[in-house]
């Protein structure tokens, strides 16, 4: 069984994005995306991933590593949508090793409408346990724009919420960072670390 899972991870890592839900992986999850990544999600209850890794309700024995080389753009509009470009997201999961995201290229995240999230060149850990460190490296200009109501835009940022990280939380953002938030109860993060 362990050999099948390792083979599966090797095949999937050739794609632009990886998403796991309700899974158990004995080793590491590694995704490498070369080329510009654009994720656009609009309407209601949609998710778009480009050059990203998403882990939900899962257990990973090793590390989660995402490398995106090229400009990353995530646009989410409408209601309850999520767009991820050059990002790593871990939710309701347990990771034995570290969560590492490297995004090389300009990162732009735009969230508008209501309850939308846009992530570009960012790491987001929510309601999870990470045995190692949470490391994000974003090289290039980072821009996060959030408008409307209850929207979140992250560019070149690390966000840890209601989680336990055994190691360090490290964010390195090289380039100009711009965060713009307008409307009601919106959040825009560029080149930032947020732990709550």
Asked whether 148 and 126 are in contact (CB, 8 A), the reply is no
Buried b (16+ CB within 10 A) or exposed e, 47-70: bbbbbbbbbbebbbbbbbbbbbbb
Given a cut of 70, is residue 120 above it in pLDDT? yes
User: Residue 82 sits in which domain range?
Assistant: 2-195
Number of domains into which the chain is organized: 1
Note the pLDDT of residue 17. Answer: 82
**pLDDT at residue 145, rounded to an integer:** 94
Q: How confident is the model at residue 57 (pLDDT cuts 50, 70, 90)?
A: very high
- What is the token pair recorded at 129? 């346990």
Return the higher-pLDDT residue of 78 and 18.
78
Q: How many of the other CB atoms lie within 10 Å of CB of 123?
A: 31
pLDDT over 90 (residue 7):
no
Q: From CA 67, how far away is CA 104, in angstroms rounded?
A: 8
State pTM to two decimals. 0.86
How far separated are the first and last CA of the chain, in Å rounded? 38
Q: Averaged over 69-93, what is the pLDDT?
A: 94
Mean pLDDT of the chain, nearest integer = 89
Which has more confidence, 118 or 10? Answer: 118
17-26: average pLDDT: 86
- 8 has a pLDDT exceeding 80: no
Supply the pLDDT for residue 23. Answer: 87
Q: Mean pLDDT throughout 95-104?
A: 96
**pLDDT at 19 (0 to 100):** 80
pLDDT at 100 over 80: yes
Residue 1 has pLDDT above 60, yes or no: no
A 10 A CB-CB count for 182 gives 12
**Per-residue pLDDT at 25:** 94
User: Are the C-beta atoms of 165 and 127 separated by less than 8 Å?
Assistant: no
Cα–Cα distance for residue pair 146/183, rounded to 1 Å: 8
């Amino acid at each position: 069984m362990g050999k099948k899972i390792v083979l599966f991870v090797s095949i999937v890592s050739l794609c632009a994005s990886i998403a796991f839900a309700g899974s158990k992986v004995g080793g590491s999850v590694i995704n490498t995306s070369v080329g510009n990544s654009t994720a656009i999600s609009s309407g209601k209850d949609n998710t778009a991933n480009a050059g990203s890794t998403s882990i939900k309700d899962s257990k990973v024995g090793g590390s989660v590593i995402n490398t995106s080389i090229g400009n990353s753009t995530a646009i989410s509009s409408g209601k309850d949508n999520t767009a991820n470009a050059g990002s790593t997201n871990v939710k309701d999961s347990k990771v034995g090793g570290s969560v590492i995201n490297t995004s090389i290229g300009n990162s732009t995240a735009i969230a508008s409408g209501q309850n939308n999230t846009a992530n570009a060149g960012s790491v987001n850990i929510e309601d999870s346990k990470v045995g190692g460190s949470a490391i994000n490296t974003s090289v290039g200009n980072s821009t996060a724009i959030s408008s409307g109501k209850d929207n979140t835009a992250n560019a070149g940022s690390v966000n840890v919420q209601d989680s336990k990280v055994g190691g360090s939380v490290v964010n390195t953002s090289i380039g100009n960072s711009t965060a713009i938030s307008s409307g009601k109860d919106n959040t825009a993060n560029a080149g930032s670390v947020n732990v709550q």
